[in-house]
């Protein structure tokens, strides 16, 4: 069915059909699984599940068990077709990249050296010419650091799928001399908060508002050049391409955002330039709820290996989400409000699984919770790639629900993603540096940044 719908949407005639005709065509492609659930491969090239209780389609990762999938059958459309998640066309062209964390698989040397060269080129700039705005990055960097350094850092963090990095990652250690304080996390993992598009735009807008157009354009060029280097890695690529599409036109038309500066609408102007095929990369800015849905979908997919062990990846994902919520709120009054916000963005089954796991201490789904920082056997990843994907998806989901509920992410990481770290902390794929074993960055001192980085 996925192949059929992709071929259908890829046909140039698809976009010329009236919406009612497209709805009728898609309604003929509904599937029903043996449990009576109805599924549709629709918008965003992802599966949606019909919720009988509310009469809506919900983004939901499909069953992964081979027997269930092969037993699915096409069913006749109902007499009254509920609004369908119709593919728009460009959303099917969106390449999602990789959900792997930056723990285990290191950032390739070509990228780290490209970023290092850009940082080196910013040395000697005057703080008066490139001040840091009071919002965004001001408390992160030392007082003499200029905004171009923040622009490079902010671009790296905005483009990252899930900014949890190996504690000894070269891409982080090169920024050590500029930081005002250690990054959150521990010696093994730096659990970094995401950078918002607002923070990046503020660097440029402040200079333009101050009449320093050349400095503003320099910052935009630095962001686009940094993104161009980062997109060689699939963990950065989708958002890097979106940032280039939003910012690069300014370099050819420096007046492009002048109308937006006076009204403080520069962020909206940037987002309006994002092409339809890349809109998925900006969901965290435009719709935190949709972003949470997609992150949870990624988490379910990263747990697909549990199917062979008799587990349901969707139930396991709901249980891990419950573990993170329980660990973050620990029964605080704000917990109920936060969870209620999440319910609205989940399908009925996942919503029920989250509810019973949170409210019933004896529920079997709590068997998926990490115990003393360790994953249960059923959730232990089979290999390094699967562990990195699970860590990245779990951390991205944690950051997504924090953004949706206006909750500050924990500086020590979430329960689920933290429990994956032991499967990656001793596995590296970078070669020994020139100094040989024992040098900074070698497996023998893995996870520890040199002290001078924070001086």
Specify the DSSP class assigned to residue 313: H
Query: Is-contact 258 301, C-beta < 8 A?
Result: no
**Helix, coil or strand: residue 233:** coil
Q: 203 vs 47, 199, 325, 405, 455, CA distance in Å?
A: 39, 7, 34, 26, 25
Question: What was the pLDDT predicted at 439?
Answer: 27
Question: What was the pLDDT predicted at 428?
Answer: 52
Domains of the chain by residue range: 2-93, 109-283, 288-423
The rounded distance, in Å, linking the Cα atoms of 309 and 173 is 39
| 71-78 long-range Cβ contacts below 8 angstroms, 24+ apart | 71/33, 71/34, 72/1, 72/31, 72/32, 72/33, 72/39, 73/31, 73/32, 74/1, 74/28, 74/29, 74/30, 74/31, 74/32, 75/30, 75/31, 75/32, 75/38, 77/24, 77/27, 77/28, 77/30
- Residue 383: Cβ within 10 Å count: 11
| Residue 375 zone, left/alpha/beta (φ > 0; ψ -120 to 50; rest) | beta
pLDDT per residue as tens, the chain (455 positions): 999 999 999 999 998 999 999 999 999 999 999 999 999 999 999 999 998 888 899 999 999 899 999 999 999 887 777 789 999 889 998 999 999 999 988 899 999 999 999 999 998 899 899 999 877 787 889 888 999 999 999 999 999 999 999 988 999 999 999 999 889 998 889 999 999 999 999 999 999 999 999 999 999 999 999 999 999 999 999 999 999 999 999 999 999 999 999 888 999 999 999 999 999 999 999 999 999 999 999 999 999 999 999 999 999 999 999 999 998 887 666 678 889 999 999 999 999 999 999 999 999 999 999 999 899 999 999 999 999 999 999 999 999 999 999 999 998 999 999 999 999 876 655 443 333 322 223 222 333 333 323 32
Instruction: Identify how many contiguous H helices and E strands the chain contains and give both numbers.
Output: 18, 7
CA triple 287-294-195, angle to 5 deg: 55
Question: What was the pLDDT predicted at 309?
Answer: 93
Question: What was the pLDDT predicted at 10?
Answer: 92
**Helix, coil or strand: residue 11:** coil
Q: 101 vs 138, 160, 165, 424, CA distance in Å?
A: 27, 9, 7, 10
Question: What was the pLDDT predicted at 4?
Answer: 95
**Cβ-based burial of 446 (10 A; exposed 0-12, middle 13-18, buried ≥19):** middle
The rounded distance, in Å, linking the Cα atoms of 236 and 97 is 8
Query: Is-contact 167 448, C-beta < 8 A?
Result: yes
Question: What was the pLDDT predicted at 82?
Answer: 79
- Per-residue model confidence as pLDDT tens digits over 283-310: 999 999 999 999 999 999 999 999 999 9
Question: What was the pLDDT predicted at 52?
Answer: 87
For 202, residues 6+ apart whose C-beta sits below 8 A from its C-beta are 133, 135, 136
HSE, side-chain direction, 13 A CA sphere, residue 387? 20
For 429, residues 6+ apart whose C-beta sits below 8 A from its C-beta are 104, 105, 106
Question: What was the pLDDT predicted at 437?
Answer: 29
Question: What was the pLDDT predicted at 450?
Answer: 32
Query: Is-contact 297 60, C-beta < 8 A?
Result: yes
pTM of the model: 0.91
The rounded distance, in Å, linking the Cα atoms of 421 and 271 is 35
Question: What was the pLDDT predicted at 449?
Answer: 35
189-218: string of b/e by CB count within 10 Å (b at 16+)? bbbbbbbbbebbbbbbbbbbeeebeebbbb
């Amino acid at each position: 069915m996925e192949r059929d719908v992709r071929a259908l949407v890829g046909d140039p005639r698809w976009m010329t059909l009236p919406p009612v005709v497209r709805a009728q065509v898609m309604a003929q492609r509904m599937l029903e699984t043996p449990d009576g659930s109805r599924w549709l491969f629709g918008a965003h090239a992802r599966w949606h599940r019909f919720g009988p209780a509310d009469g809506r389609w919900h983004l939901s990762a499909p069953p992964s068990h081979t027997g269930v999938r092969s037993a699915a059958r096409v069913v006749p459309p109902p007499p009254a077709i509920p609004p369908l998640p119709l593919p728009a066309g460009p959303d099917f062209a969106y390449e999602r990249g990789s959900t792997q964390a930056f723990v285990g698989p290191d950032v390739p040397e070509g990228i780290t050296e490209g970023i290092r060269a850009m940082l080196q080129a910013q040395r000697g700039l005057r703080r008066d010419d490139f001040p840091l705005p009071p919002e965004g990055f001001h408390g992160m960097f030392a007082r003499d650091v200029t905004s171009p350094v923040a622009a490079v850092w902010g671009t790296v963090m905005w483009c990252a799928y899930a900014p949890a990095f190996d504690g000894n990652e070269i891409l982080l250690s090169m920024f050590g001399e500029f930081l005002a304080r250690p990054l959150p996390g521990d010696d093994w993992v730096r659990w970094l908060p995401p950078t918002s598009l607002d923070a990046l735009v503020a660097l440029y807008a402040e200079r333009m508002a101050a009449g320093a157009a050349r400095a503003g354009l320099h910052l935009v060029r630095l962001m686009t050049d940094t993104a161009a280097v980062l997109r060689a890695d699939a963990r950065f690529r989708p958002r890097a391409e979106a940032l280039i599409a939003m910012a690069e036109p300014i370099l050819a038309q420096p007046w492009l955002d002048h109308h937006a500066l006076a009204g403080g609408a520069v962020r909206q102007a940037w987002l309006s330039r994002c092409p339809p095929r890349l809109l998925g990369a900006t969901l965290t800015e435009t719709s935190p709820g949709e972003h949470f849905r997609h992150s949870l979908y990624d988490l379910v997919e990263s747990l697909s290996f549990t199917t062979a062990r008799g587990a349901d990846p969707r139930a396991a994902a709901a249980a891990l989400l419950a573990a993170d919520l329980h660990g973050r709120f620990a029964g605080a009054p704000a917990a109920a409000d936060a969870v209620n916000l999440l319910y609205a963005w989940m399908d009925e089954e996942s919503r029920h699984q989250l509810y019973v796991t949170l409210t019933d201490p004896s529920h079997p789904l709590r068997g998926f919770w990490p115990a003393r920082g360790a994953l249960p056997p059923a959730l232990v990843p089979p290999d390094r790639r699967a562990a990195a994907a699970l860590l990245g998806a779990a951390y991205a989901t944690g950051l997504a629900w924090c953004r949706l509920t206006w909750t500050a992410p924990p500086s020590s990481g979430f329960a689920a993603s933290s429990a994956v770290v032991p499967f990656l902390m001793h596995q590296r794929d970078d070669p020994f540096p020139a100094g040989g074993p024992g040098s900074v960055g070698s497996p023998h001192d893995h996870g520890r940044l040199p002290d001078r980085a924070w001086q």
